[in-house]
Chains A and B, each alone.
Chain A
Amino acid sequence: MSTATTAITYKVPKRRHPVIQFTMTQPLGAAGLVVIVIMAIAGFFAHIVAPHDPLDLDFGAMLAPPSWEHWMGTDAFGRDVFSRIIYGARTALAVGFLASLAGSGLGAVIGVASAYFGGRIDMLIQRFMDILLAFPIIVLALAVVAVLGKWPVGGLDVNLIIAIAIPMVPKVARVVRSSALAIREMPYIDAARAAGYGHMRIIFRHITPNVVAPFLIMFTAFIAQAILLEASLSFLGLGVTEPTAAWGLMLSGASQEFYVQAPWMIIFPGLAISLAVFAFNLFGDSLRDWLDPKIKL
């Protein structure tokens, strides 16, 4: 007796790894991510990748045009522009990442707390956020930089990071607050309260996980803004200072006098800023479409 075995195949939708899924649905965002990763690696291993020391003065080759020796030419002190751009990536990404982490982190905490407690606390917090919003971003950052001065830790100016982070706080707080307000009305929050959980537990275990999507989206978007703001402040001489390599700084000082004779001094750093911000925006936009298309920034 033979048993006829019929192979039954079920079509189970393949569960792909989220990274692969993201790449397939959001090719532009994936391209942005690739650029970010390349920049991050180049910045992290700058001491290996860069062909020259970014601080090496070469008075024999001042304002030299791009060549095999200096791919992007040299600046007014004979420093290699390409190497300074690679080291600048380290500065830009570190400042951008840390500032955005601090700014959107604090903003998220304030936003969730404001929505959760409601009433008078909410009103007070929102009024204070209005005050911060009424300050033009660069003005606020300028004032904070001037007040705090410098506080270098491991080659990074912590106070500069704070100055860039503060203007983000009210914006993130607003968006997170409105998401959290909707969640606050959910039955499971009532249930948690009825079960006698404390404020902290409800905020961190029940509300926070549900505002992660808008938070992540704002976080990436603000890295881009932080890089731009750092470049602007450094350009004005109030951010990163010489001799540290930073993109905004490369556009100021001697570049202002010589950029007509030596356009490579400004073209490449500006392209670096634009490319980094472009990549983060591309990635951030795709992340939003992928996670939650309803969120508008």
Chain B
Amino acid sequence: MLRYTIHRILLMIPTLLGVAVLVFVLLRLMPGDIVELRFLAEGGQVSPEVIAAERTRLGLDKPMWRQFGDWMTGIFVGDFGISMWTGRPVVDEIASRLELSMQVALMATVFAIVLAIPLGTLSALYKDSWIDQVIRLFAIAGLAVPSFWLGMVIILVLLLNFNWIPPLTYTPIYEDPWTNLSQLIWPAIAVGYRYSAVATRMMRSTILDVLQEDYIRTARAKGVFERLVVARHAMRNAMLPVVTVIGLEFAFLIGGLVVTEQVFNLNGIGKLFVETVTRADYTMVQALVMLVATFFILVNFVVDLLYAALDPRIRYR
């Protein structure tokens, strides 16, 4: 187990390095760097000397390999550089927005799990009944509805019924938890619907599988109450694939956040990402991609470890 863990951690390094190279090269292949974009946006005639000076200031005149080397050595000492657009440290720019996105992501995950476990179980227990049909329809619709559109519809309904509009600024949870939750529950639902749909489908199919197992028949045969059979034997064993799917769908969650933050006017990392890509703010985009990739890899790693923890039959070597 320890060996497996170390092996997996070591494998993360080449993957992350690959992500770093890829994002670095992709950004530099994009037509127009930040200096051009910025001065063109101002519209004025800017002398080549000024442009060259700005490039030197941002370190864009150095050869590619030097720029990459500087970035990598910076990361090793915990220095992610400064945003080329705002001039503030990348870490500060991201930190101020990460909290909001993390909270929405977390709420969406909780929403998904809370919905998926009972719905998936019910659907499996009453297979082919009308309950099952309704839940399956709800789940398959969840895969089809775009999160940003769902967000717009939610805003529309709230506005027409309660005169609620998305606030311009969000209240942090430690200032006023109630206001904060009432503001963020809607984007969380918009993003979480798809998530819950995927988890519900997974829950249903694994419960159906598990109910065929010998130990379920044994439990029933020795007279365990059906409720306990379901709760203790079936649901517990069905949790594993659901956990996996939640880990795997994390990438979708981020994608959902990128678009949904635009709709709800949330100043999170999704919105930041779209802004920085269009501005060709290299340092910011690099840092954001590395952040998300690291998180994704870690989530999948933790899911694999959880597998072993939840199911004693699984042993990694």
> Which chain B positions have C-beta within 8 A of A134?
15-16, 19, 293, 296-297
**Taking CB as reference atom, which chain A residue is nearest B157?**
A263
Assess whether B77 is interfacial by the CB under 8 Å rule.
Answer: no
Option from B16, B26, B156, B254 in Cβ contact (under 8 Å) with A136: B254
Q: Are A143 and B26 in contact (CB-based, < 8 A)?
A: yes
Q: Which chain B residues in 246-275 approach chain A with CB under 8 Å? A: 251-252, 254-255, 258-259, 262, 273-274
> Which chain A positions have C-beta within 8 A of B18?
127-128, 130-131
> Which chain B positions have C-beta within 8 A of A86?
none
Q: Are A135 and B19 in contact (CB-based, < 8 A)?
A: yes
> Which chain B positions have C-beta within 8 A of A137?
251-252, 255
Interface size on B, residues (CB 8 A): 40
Q: Which chain B residues in 59-84 approach chain A with CB under 8 Å? A: none
Interface size on A, residues (CB 8 A): 41
Q: Are B140 and A278 in contact (CB-based, < 8 A)?
A: yes
Which of A146, A224, A248 has the most chain B CB within a 10 Å cutoff? A146
Q: Are A278 and B141 in contact (CB-based, < 8 A)?
A: yes
The binding surface of chain B is classed by DSSP as: helix
Q: Are B141 and A274 in contact (CB-based, < 8 A)?
A: yes
Q: Which chain B residues in 262-307 approach chain A with CB under 8 Å? A: 262, 273-274, 277-278, 289, 292-293, 296-297
Among A54-62, A175-183, A200-208, A229-237, which stretch is in contact with chain B? A229-237
Q: Are B258 and A236 in contact (CB-based, < 8 A)?
A: yes
Assess whether B143 is interfacial by the CB under 8 Å rule.
Answer: yes
Complex alpha-carbon distance, A192 and B30, angstroms: 47
> Which chain B positions have C-beta within 8 A of A232?
146, 148, 255, 258-259
Assess whether B14 is interfacial by the CB under 8 Å rule.
Answer: yes
Beyond A143-B27, A274-B141, A274-B145, 4 additional contacts (C-beta under 8 Å) are: A134-B19, A136-B251, A276-B144, A281-B140
5 tightest A-B CB contacts, nearest first: A270-B149, A131-B18, A138-B255, A278-B144, A277-B144
Binding site for A on B (CB under 8 A): 14-16, 18-19, 22-23, 26-27, 29-31, 140-141, 143-146, 148-149, 152-153, 156, 159, 251-252, 254-255, 258-259, 262, 273-274, 277-278, 289, 292-293, 296-297
